[in-house]
Amino acid sequence: MAENNNNISDASQKAIDEARVTACDHGHSKVDPIHLAHVLFQREDSIGAKVCLRASCDVYLARQSIQKALLKKPAYPEIPGEASLSSNFSLWLEYAAKLCKANDDVLLAPNLLLIALFEDREAKVALKGVLKEKTVKETLIQICKASTTVFPVVKDKLAALEKYGIDMRKLAEEGKLDPVIGRDEEIRRLIQILARRTKSNPVLVGEPGTGKTSVVDGFARRLVDGDVPETIKNIALRTLDMGALVAGTTYRGDFEERLRLVLEEVKEAEGRIVLFVDEVHLILGAGRCSGSMDAANLLKPMLAKGELKMIGATTLQEYRNYIEKDSAFERRFQKVIVDEPSVRDAVSMLRGLVDKYETHHAIHITDSAVIAAAKLSDRYINYRFNPDKSIDLIDEAGARKRTILDSRPERIDQLERQILQLKIEATALERQKKTPPARKLSHIEDQMVKLMKELEPLNEKWKADRRRAEELKTVKEKLAALEFKAASAERHGDYNEAADLKYGAIPATQKQLNKIETENKARKAESCNYDKDVTEQDITEVISRWTGIPVPKCLGQKSAGKTELSKALFSELYDGYERHLVRIDMSEYSESHSVARLIGSPPGYIGHDEGGQLTESVRRKPYTVVLFDEIGKAHPRVLTVLLQIMDEGHLTDSKGRKVDFRNTIVNLTSNVGSQHMLKSHAKKKEARAQVMLEAQKTFTPELLNRLSCMVIFNALGTNQLEKIVHKAIQNVHKRLLSKGIILVLEPDGARMILAESYDPKYGARPVERYIESTVVTTLSRMLIQEEISPGCVVHVEAAVCTEDSDGLSDEDDASVVPLSEKAPLHYRVETNAVTSDDLPIEDIDSWELDHFKATSGNDVKILSRRRLYVEICTEWQNFNVLSMSLYVDWRNIQMYVIYV
C-alpha cells in the first residue's frame, strides 16, 4: 500500500490502489498511468465511463484500446509482492498535483486524474480517436455546473439507470447471455429500425416463448462483436424494469420523479443509450393515479422528437389489447413480427444451446433427444410455442436425469434399512432382563455382516460415479471459460493470447474431457446408478400418453351402448381417469343461441370472460375424449360448430383464440333410425340401409362428409346382455368387498335378472335399475338385519330351477325368453367362508383373458398382500370371457369367478 498523500482524495487513492492490482493481474511489476486509466474507465460508475456517456463517446472502444496497450507491455509470470509505482507514474502524479493547485482545489480528485492522463504518452495514444482532452474538460465543466463536487453529482445523475436497469452489453461481454441461433432476419430488421433518424423504436411482437428477448440478446452480442453499422456501433443497451420503477412509489409524484431521472440521463446521452423494455404494454397505465399521467404519456414527447430510442417486446394479444388502442403510442413504434420457428430451425436452436445445459446438469444430451424434443413438442404441446417448449423439455429431462444420478441407488437404501432394522432388533434383545438368546444374536450379527459386505462395494461404486460426474462438470466449465476467454482476446485484438488458448489450453482441456467421457463409457456397465445420457426415451417420458384424432360417429338403438363405448374408450386410453372425458349433452343445446355456451359469449355479453364449456375444457386438457351425446336433439346452428373441429382440427373461441382438437377423440352419438334396428326379423343390411337414410335426412351433408366413420350398433344379444349384468353385479360386489363379503352371481341368477328387467324398447338401462332396486335393496336389508356379516359368501341365484334357454340368440336376437314369470331371486349365504385376513386390503386385480379354466383344486400362490396375484398352473380350456376378477376361498383352495 502506498503512502496516502494528504492532498489526494480517498476516491483517488482507492483508484491508485486498484491500479496496483491491475498491474499485478497483467504481470507488470511497475504501475504506470495506463494502469490507472484502466481503473478510471473499467466500471460503469467510474469517472471515465460517465464522461464518455455524457459526451456520447464509446466507452467500450476506450476500454478495448486501454486493454490493447496493457497487453503490449512485457509481462512476467510471477510478481513478488505488490507492484510499485514507476518513476514515470510519480512524475505524472506531480503534474496532476500542480493541476489541482492551479484549479484552487483542496484535494486531488479523480476528475483531475482523468485530465492529467492526456499528459502521459502511452495513455494519450490509447485514448486517441475516442476522447480528446478538450472534450473531457468541457464535459467535466458541464457536470460541475450543478455542484461544486464532481462525484456526488455524477453519482446522482447516473444512479437511475443503474438502479432500474441492467447493462446488456456488459452481460454480453462477460458471456452471461445464451447463444442465439437463427433469428438473423429479425436482428437485421431491428438494427435497420434503430439506424433510422426518427421513429427508431422497434417493438418485437410474437407469441409467448417464440424468442423475442433472445432477439435482443443476439443484438447485444453483435454490438460487442462490432457487427453493426457505424451509426449505432457505440450505443449502450440497457433494460428498463417497469416493475422496479413502480415498486415503492408511496406518494403521488414518486413514480414520475424516478422516470424523469431516467429520461434525463437518456436525453443527455444524445441518442447513445437504447432502452429495452420487456412487456412494453405495461408502460400504458404504469404509475397512473387520480389526475396524473402514466409512463406512456411521459415517454411520447421524447419518442416523437427522437430523443429516446426504445426496443419493446410484447405478445400479440397484449399488443392488440393495449398498444393498438393508443394510436399515438403505437405509431411511434415499428413492429417486428417474431414468428414461431419451424421444427428444423428449433432443432438448430437446441443444438446451439445444448452445451449450456450439458454443463449445468453435468450430463450428456444425445442428438436424438434434441430432435425428439423439437418434433414431439411441435406435435403434442400445442398450447405453447417453440423454441421455449423444446428448451423446457431438454431442461426438464436433464434435471430429471441429474436428480436420478444424485439420488442414492434403491439397492443401497434397501440394504441400509435392513441393517438398521437388524441393529434395532439386536439392541432390543440385549436389553432384555433375561439372558438374551445367544443363538439369535449370533444369527442377527451374521446377517448384518453379510449385508455390510454387499453394501460397501455398492457405496464405493456410487461415490466413484459421483466423483466422475463432478470431474466431468468441472472440466466442461473450464473448457467453456477458456473458449469465452479466447473469443474475448480475439475481439480485443490480443492475438497472442488467443493463439495460446486456441492451440494450447483449449485442445489440452478438450483432450482431458474426451478421456473422461471415454472412461465413463467403459465403466458404464460397472456403474451402480443409471447412465448419464439424456435420450429420446427420456424426452418421451416427459411427454406421455398422447393420441391422434379419429372422428367416429355412433348410431344405434337406445341403450345399445353408444355412450358406454365412449367411456370405455377414454378408460382404455387414459387409464380410466374421468377428468379426460368431456361429455356434452346436446339436448341442452336445442336453442340457436346456446352455441355461445360451447365457444363462449360474444364481447359485451355476460360470461364473455369465462370462455366456452367446450373450448375451455379442451384448451386446458388437449388430450381428451370429447363425447357429443344425442346430437340429433341439438339445434342445426350448433352442429355447424363441429364442422371446423372435424375438418381443420381446431376451433376458434369467442376471444379469437385457436383451440387445438388434433389430439382429441371426438365421438358423436344419436338414436336416429333406432326403430329399424328393433325389428327382430329384419335383415342386418336392410336395417343398416334404413338407418343411413334416416341419418341423411336428419343431418346435413357437410356434417356427414366430415365423419371418419359411422358405427351402427346392433341390438344387444344374450351374450352381451349377460356381460352387462355381470358388470353391474361386479360394481355391487366391490361395495360389499369393503365389508369383507364376497358376492357371486350364478348363471341362472343372471338369466333371471335379464328375464325380469330387460325390454328391447328401452335397452340395457332397465337392467341396471333393476339390480339397484332389487339386488342392492335386498342386500342392504340383509346387512341391516345382520343376516350377512364379514366372511360370508353370498350366491345370487334363481329360486326355481329353469330349463336351458335354447330359444335365445347369441348375437342378433334382441329378445330374451323369461325362465319363469314370477320366480324371484334367491340369496344363498355361506357363513365364515373366508376371513378378513384372507381378503385383499385395497382391491382385486383384473386380467383380460381369452381362455381360462374355472375348476377347483387350482394351484394358487400369494405374491402380495396389497394386490391379489394368482398363478394358474392347470391346462387352458376354450372358455371365452371378456375379463374376470378372481377370488379365493383359502379353506377349500377353490376359485370363484365373477365375469365382468
Q: Are 867 and 843 in contact (CB under 8 A)?
A: yes
SS3 883: coil
User: Is 471 part of a structural domain of the chain?
Assistant: yes
Q: How confident is the model at residue 683 (pLDDT cuts 50, 70, 90)?
A: low
Identify the pLDDT of residue 836: 44
HEC secondary structure over 805-873: CCCCCCCCCCCCCCCCCCCCEEEEEECCCCCHHHCCCCCCCEECCCCCCCCCCCCCCCCCCCCCCCCCC
Instruction: State whether 141 and 268 are in the same domain.
Output: no
Which triple of cell numbers denotes residue 875?
Answer: 391346462
Q: What is the CATH number of the domain that holds 641?
A: 3.40.50.300
Instruction: State whether 498 and 356 are in the same domain.
Output: yes
Instruction: State whether 330 and 242 are in the same domain.
Output: yes
Q: What is the Cα–Cα distance from 609 to 600, expressed in whole angstroms? A: 8
Which triple of cell numbers denotes residue 403?
Answer: 436428480
Instruction: State whether 235 and 274 are in the same domain.
Output: yes
Rounded average pLDDT over 452-467: 80
Instruction: State whether 104 and 214 are in the same domain.
Output: no
Identify the pLDDT of residue 46: 80
Helices (H), 322-384: 327-330, 343-361, 367-380
Q: Are 330 and 152 in contact (CB under 8 A)?
A: no
Q: Which of 833, 857, 888 is the last residue of a domain?
A: 833
The crossing angle, in degrees rounded to 10, of helices 10-25 and 33-42 is 110
Identify the pLDDT of residue 179: 83
Which triple of cell numbers denotes residue 723?
Answer: 356381460
Q: Are 885 and 730 in contact (CB under 8 A)?
A: yes
User: Is 900 part of a structural domain of the chain?
Assistant: no
The pLDDT of residue 204 is above 90: yes
Return the half-sphere exposure (C-beta side, CA atoms, 13 A cut-off) of residue 432: 13
Number of separate domains in the chain: 5
What is the amino acid identity at position 141?
A: I
Instruction: State whether 518 and 585 are in the same domain.
Output: no
Rounded average pLDDT over 220-235: 84
Q: Are 469 and 532 in contact (CB under 8 A)?
A: yes
SS3 899: strand
Which has the higher per-residue pLDDT, 667 or 524? Answer: 667
Comparing 219-228, 299-308, 600-609, 647-656, the range with the smallest average pLDDT is: 600-609
What burial class does residue 804 get, using C-beta atoms within 10 Å of its C-beta: 0-12 exposed, 13-18 middle, 19+ buried?
Answer: exposed
Identify the pLDDT of residue 568: 60
Instruction: State whether 22 and 108 are in the same domain.
Output: yes
Rounded average pLDDT over 735-741: 82
Look at residues 407, 397, 328 and name the one whose alpha carbon lies nearest to residue 364: 397
Rounded average pLDDT over 863-882: 30
Q: How confident is the model at residue 189 (pLDDT cuts 50, 70, 90)?
A: very high
Q: What is the Cα–Cα distance from 502 to 513, expressed in whole angstroms? A: 16
- Any long-range contacts for 14-17 (C-beta under 8 Å, 24+ apart)? 15/39, 15/40, 15/110, 15/113
- Those residues with Cβ within 8 angstroms of residue 821's Cβ, 6 or more apart along the chain or in another chain: none
| pLDDT tens figures, 765-811 | 788 888 888 888 888 888 888 888 887 888 888 875 444 444 444 44
Identify the pLDDT of residue 572: 55
| pLDDT tens figures, 62-120 | 888 888 888 888 777 666 667 788 888 888 888 888 888 777 777 788 888 888 888 88
The alpha carbon of 187 is separated from its chain's Cα centroid by a whole number of angstroms, namely: 27
User: Is 468 part of a structural domain of the chain?
Assistant: yes
Q: How confident is the model at residue 205 (pLDDT cuts 50, 70, 90)?
A: very high
Identify the pLDDT of residue 378: 83
Rounded to two decimals, what is the model's pTM?
0.55
HEC secondary structure over 454-521: HHHHHHHHHHHHHHHHHHHHHHHHHHHHHHHHHHHHHHCCCHHHHHHHHHHHHHHHHHHHHHHHHHHH
Q: What is the Cα–Cα distance from 237 to 248, expressed in whole angstroms? A: 26
Rounded average pLDDT over 569-575: 54
Instruction: Output phi, psi for 761, to 5 deg.
Output: -70, -30
Other C-beta atoms lying within 10 Å of the C-beta of residue 94:
11
User: Is 538 part of a structural domain of the chain?
Assistant: no
Q: Are 494 and 506 in contact (CB under 8 A)?
A: no
Q: What is the CATH number of the domain that holds 727?
A: 1.10.8.60
**Mean pLDDT, the chain, as a whole number?**
73
Instruction: State whether 605 and 705 are in the same domain.
Output: yes
Q: How confident is the model at residue 321 (pLDDT cuts 50, 70, 90)?
A: confident
Instruction: State whether 105 and 237 are in the same domain.
Output: no
Return the half-sphere exposure (C-beta side, CA atoms, 13 A cut-off) of residue 509: 20
HEC secondary structure over 634-695: CCHHHHHHHHHHHHHCEEECCCCCEEECCCCEEEEEECCCHHHHCCCCCCHHHHHHHHHHHH
Rounded average pLDDT over 469-486: 78
Instruction: State whether 76 and 171 are in the same domain.
Output: no
Is residue 216 within a helix (H) or strand (E), and if so which, with residue range? helix 212-225
Identify the pLDDT of residue 834: 57
The alpha carbon of 238 is separated from its chain's Cα centroid by a whole number of angstroms, namely: 29
Instruction: State whether 215 and 334 are in the same domain.
Output: yes
The pLDDT of residue 324 is above 80: yes
Q: What is the Cα–Cα distance from 168 to 180, expressed in whole angstroms? A: 14
Other C-beta atoms lying within 10 Å of the C-beta of residue 881:
17
Instruction: Output phi, psi for 862, to 5 deg.
Output: -90, 125
Report the percent of the chain where pLDDT is more than 70. 75
User: Is 761 part of a structural domain of the chain?
Assistant: yes
Instruction: Output phi, psi for 8, to 5 deg.
Output: -105, 130
Identify the pLDDT of residue 159: 62
User: Is 772 part of a structural domain of the chain?
Assistant: yes
Instruction: State whether 175 and 107 are in the same domain.
Output: no
User: Is 667 part of a structural domain of the chain?
Assistant: yes
CA angle 758, 764, 766 (to 5 degrees): 60
Task: Say which residue the cell 344387444 belongs to.
Answer: 716
User: Is 567 part of a structural domain of the chain?
Assistant: yes
Which has the higher per-residue pLDDT, 374 or 244? Answer: 374
Q: What is the Cα–Cα distance from 896 to 868, expressed in whole angstroms? A: 13
Q: Are 126 and 68 in contact (CB under 8 A)?
A: yes
Which has the higher per-residue pLDDT, 3 or 331? Answer: 331
Strand-pair partners of 846:
885
Identify the pLDDT of residue 840: 45
Domain of residue 201: give its range.
160-339
Q: Which of 663, 678, 711 is the last residue of a domain?
A: 711
Rounded average pLDDT over 640-648: 78
Q: What is the Cα–Cα distance from 617 to 595, expressed in whole angstroms? A: 15
Q: What is the Cα–Cα distance from 456 to 454, expressed in whole angstroms? A: 6
